[in-house]
Amino acid sequence: MKTRLAVVDYTSCKPKKCSYECISVCPVNRSGRALAIDADRQVRGQPTIFEDTCIGCGLCVKACPFEALYIVNMPKELEEEAVHRYGVNRFKLYRLPIPKEGQVVGIIGKNGAGKTTALRILAGEIKPNLGMLDGEPDWDDIIRRFRGSELQGYFKLVSEGKVRVVHKVQHVDVVPRRIRGTVGELLLKVDERGMARELAEYLELTKVWDRDVGKLSGGELQKFLVAAVLSRDANVYVFDEPSSFLDVRERVRVARLIREGAKPGRYILVVEHDLAVLDYVSDVVHIIYGEPGAYGIVSSPYSTRSGINHFLDGYLPAENVRLWKEPIKFRIHGELREGVVREGVRRIISWSDLRVALGDFTLHVEGGEIGSGQVVGVVGPNGIGKTTFVRVLAGEIKPVEGVVNIDEQGEVRISYKPQYVSSDMFPEASVLEILKTANPEAVTPGSWLYLELTRKLKMDKLFDRSAKSLSGGELQKLALCTALAREADVYLLDEPSAYLDVEERLNVARIVRRIAETREVVVFVVEHDIMIADFISDSIIVFQGEPGLRGSASSPMTVKMGMNMLLANLGITMRRDSESGRPRVNKEGSYLDRMQKAKGEFYW
């Protein structure tokens, strides 16, 4: 038996441009039952599907010129596990992650699949309506729904007010608009455990202690929020994407702090897109799958290793659900592929020893050269010169000493995706026009570029939108799509995984590798996600030094050598998973951690 979940994507629906053909062609609507204009939305003229009488013919879906309508067939048994719905034709969540006392519960899944909704329900910020829209259930109904599970006792504590929840929100950029004050005074104000100064010192916030929060960078805001949450005395700690905007070293530090907070009497929930960090911090994981914007289903709990491997494999055995066709496997990097020019390979770009001076900051880069078909990972802490190096290669910054040589055979085309993106970068045009200008194939249905890049990053949903109206995350995706769509010889991608979920990151990594190999070009990728850097790179350039003052960069080296140097600087060790081949961070002080450090094999 199946039930129908009818969804209207109101971000795509454009009533002013629509002739409402969807209403006239639906046969059930002719009796005035299936598709009509909701009285609450009469002013906006947005369509509402009456799900109880919808026969799922799909005519309205095909007629909608904006692809704003979805008819999803769902197993009827699943309806009994509905937890929350935002309204008629709106997003619906099935099941919930299960908080476990004294453990860190990790959550992974697509953007828009319900991760934040699930966290807000468990944090007590949203009272679950169990999918009912005709009345709000009381706490007895909610507790009865989850009887026999660990959630029954948890919601009983929530309903009685015996659970105190502290929530680290997903979007850190909203913080300066809601609170005023300096970092120091705000941390001391919420310090209930007497740990604010200690946390600030560990997270290197003492440098900005007297700075107003409105003047903090994204990474500084992230660390400020993590410190503020951990300074509170609570039963439940919720962290929504705690590694965003942070470099590798900072991600590991934040993960260590979160793990140390997992003690008896406490529940910790973490949503994270960096699988290496999620693996390091979590004891168990839930995978949320479904149709973004339509519905999300929370999987059974898995052990951390099994859950992440099942996710990469694309198959969840407990649910008997396939997420995608082909499993994601990581290459085992040996000494075979060097980040240098090999015999018979065209050299596209080379540089001598470089010295760059920007105010008080100086950068020294060892000379190197890269041949066609190579992806070069650029790794290291923030503020150490990675973006400066990329801008030197792009020709935006001239070095004080040294020179960059690009292709002896003629002029080379460069495509550059900067770290920070604003609407001023784009003309007054629609997303469709911008992508079409970059490469017509990016907007041609059926082309590999459209299927593998534009569609998988959901840019086709934004074709009619003006670039000036896009959000920060949407602008990042547009900049990335535009950069990769262009025909070029050298691609410079500064933090391409920003704002992307795990599946989108892996899709981008795949298409970057395909572009490098099929077009025989060079791609430089500045990346903080260790797993993606490992997945995508043929060679590595490692940056180190003192952030904001001086930086030094190695010449291109093998992934094994480069990652070993990076991890040695960070003081952490990693091993490869025996099944998926993905890199895994060893728990600090574990047998493998001690053994690898003793051998000097930080990347094993």
Buried-state track 351-377, b at ≥16 Cβ within 10 A, e below 16: beebebeeeebbbbbeebbbbbbbbbb
pLDDT digits (tens, 9 = 90+) for 522-552: 999 998 888 888 888 999 999 998 887 899 9
pLDDT digits (tens, 9 = 90+) for 96-135: 999 999 999 999 988 888 898 998 899 888 899 888 877 7
- Region of 265 please: left (phi>0), alpha (psi -120 to 50) or beta: left
Handedness of CA 178, 183, 189, 191 (dihedral sign): positive
Q: What pLDDT sits at residue 12?
A: 67
Q: What is the fold, at CATH topology level, of the domain defined by 336-413+488-557?
A: Rossmann fold (3.40.50)
Across residues 31-39, what is the average pLDDT? 47
Give Cα separations from 568 to 15, 279, 530, 564 (angstroms): 57, 19, 14, 6
CATH numeric code, 91-164+236-241+269-323: 3.40.50.300
Across residues 246-274, what is the average pLDDT? 89
Please indicate whether the domains covering 2-76 and 336-413+488-557 agree at the CATH topology level: no
Across 41-50, 241-250, 477-486, the highest mean pLDDT is recorded for 477-486
Q: What is the fold, at CATH topology level, of the domain defined by 2-76?
A: Alpha-Beta Plaits (3.30.70)
Burial of 54 (0-12, 13-18, 19+ CB in 10 A): buried
Confidence of residue 356 (pLDDT cuts 50, 70, 90): very high
Q: Where are the domains of the chain?
A: 2-76, 91-164+236-241+269-323, 165-233, 336-413+488-557, 423-485, 571-604
On whether the pTM is more than 0.75, the answer is yes
Dist. CA 235–CA 266, nearest whole Å: 5
Dist. CA 246–CA 492, nearest whole Å: 20
The residue ranking higher by pLDDT, 409 or 550, is 550
